[in-house]
Amino acid sequence: MDLLDATAMAEAVREGTTTAEELVTAALERIAAWDGEVNAFTVVRRDEALRRAREIDEGVRRDPTSYGPLAGVPVSVKDHVWMAGQPATNGSLALRDFVPDVDAVPVSRLRAAGAVIVGKTNNPEFCYRGFTDNRVFGLTRNPWSLGRTPGGSSGGAGASVAYGATPLALGTDGGGSIRIPAAFCGVVGHKPTFGLVPKLPGFRGWPSLSVDGPIAASVRDLALALRVMAGPHPADPLTWPVPFGDDDGVEAGVDWSTLRVAVSEDLGWAAVDREVRTAFRGAVDRLADDGARITEAHPASAYPTELWNAIALPEGFASEGPLLGHDGIDPATREIVEAGRSVSAADYLDAQERRAGFTETWERFFRADDGGYDVLLTPSMPVPAFSTDVPGPTEIDRTPVDPFFDDWCALALPANLTGQPATAVPTGRTPDGLPVGLQVVGPRWADLRTLAVAARHEALTDFTRAPASAAGPGA
């Protein structure tokens, strides 16, 4: 069966040109063929998924409108995200036996829209790293090159979409955890505006930084998934009743005459690999040739890692500190958790106050009444996928990288600190064949705008999510 995106799959099920059972069977076959080497999945729900697919097919035969916009679409859910009756280990031996009895709101909304959840996907312990490996389920590999990482922390989600197991995956992003796998695996991902998509019930980690969001085969799938998952819910008091809007405009294209587009290779402070810079320049040139009005500009903000750590570390200790008595926690993870122990409440609130100033700088950059920009384009990640033998690059373009806690991900951190939306989309591949991408950042609640710009770039770029056709398992 040809690889379709989620939008096309659901349309085919409703029109009767395929069935949910056929789609789920194909997904399970790809998992069986690929996952032994990629190791994207922690749980495969074969029997439950096929049973649910048959229920959907029976309902569609009675009434094609009886199921929602994801009717029959195979979907994966990150291990970290709670799903009733399925393990949520958060990649840790300390939580190996934890099985929630309730769905996180995005999971229940995906189910209600007709999605068929075929399994859960791997993440590093407590979602702390930009690669995916843990002592419970082991190492996840990149389908484009099995010796490379798919990124993290939603690495299993990115890999599951990259090799075609599912066209849509639910991940999370507290410091780039959707955009890193999107860049490394050559798929698309969206870090929503903070408060757009509920993330509870669930783990407590990084409550002011992390969001739930989609990784997908196409930008229109990102918009479809957001439409399904967005909206306030009593389970998550940090969600806001802001209308998502009409996502049909994402595919309609953009009117460049109405958009001011800022671009920056490095935001003024990031080390970026030369191959990534070259690919990013090619992407900017394509958009300029398409009519985009491009200006070299970026917010006048400081390097974000220290501020992000000042918030993430105490939030992480508050969440995972009680688990430190378990001797199965990885030493590197333990070091990160312990780093938040000595942070006082006053220090934490001081960091949040500095964050408010950082956010104001970024919001002002986009503010129309200040002559601001509509979107900002940067590379998604400063490097292509690195080897599975290392926890991250030691240097980027001859610039040393701080070895503590994935400082190489700094280009992703502003959107988490500010709560702004960021869409990651592939731009091409390096000479070694590794995917690279750009991210489109906008002001809060402008998710549809960043998606529309990403969709236009997607339409101008010849890129496929099917490494299986090029390399095959074991390559």
CB–CB of 49/165 below 8 Å? no
Let me know if 199 is a catalytic residue.
no
Q: How far is CA 461 from CA 138, 159, 169, 287, in A?
A: 34, 21, 22, 10
Q: Torsions phi, psi of 244, nearest 5?
A: -70, -35
Choose the catalytic residue: 177, 264, 301, 319: 177
Q: Which residues of 245-256 are buried (b: 16+ CB within 10 A; e: fewer)?
A: bebeebbeebeb
In 89-210, the DSSP E strands lie at 116-121, 168-173, 188-191
Q: How many CA atoms lie within 13 Å of 157's alpha carbon, on the beta-carbon side? A: 36
Pairing of strands 211-216, 188-191: antiparallel
Quick check: 173 and 80 in contact, CB under 8 A?
no
Do 148 and 183 meet the contact criterion of CB atoms below 8 Å apart? no
Owner of token pair 């229920």? 55
Active-site annotation holds for 78: yes
71 within 8 A of 20, measured Cβ to Cβ: yes
Least Cα distance to 453 among 380, 381, 378, 377 occurs for 377
Pick from 419, 460, 407, 417: which is nearest to 438 by CA?
A: 460
Neighbours of 218 (CB within 10 A): 23
**Longest distance between any two alpha carbons in the chain, whole Å:** 63
CA dihedral 33, 34, 39, 44 (to 10 degrees): -50
Reply yes or no on whether 154 is catalytic: no
β-pair partners for 438: 379, 425
Q: Which one of the listed residues 153, 210, 218, 301 is annotated catalytic?
A: 153
Give the separation between CA 330 and CA 66, rounded to whole angstroms: 47
Q: Regarding beta strands 168-173 and 74-78, do their DSSP bridges make them parallel or antiparallel, or are they unpaired?
A: parallel
**Integer Cα distance of 324 and 309 in angstroms:** 19
Name the residue among 451, 439, 67, 66 with its Cα closest to residue 244.
451
Distance CA 454, CA 179 (A): 13
Find, among 112, 114, 110, the residue nearest to 20 by Cα: 114
Question: Which residue among the candidates 78, 120, 191, 199 is catalytic per the annotation?
Answer: 78
Task: Looking at 245-344, list the stretches that DSSP marks H as alpha helix, in order from N- to C-terminal side.
Answer: 249-252, 274-289, 305-320, 331-338
- Give the residue numbers marked as catalytic: 78, 153, 177
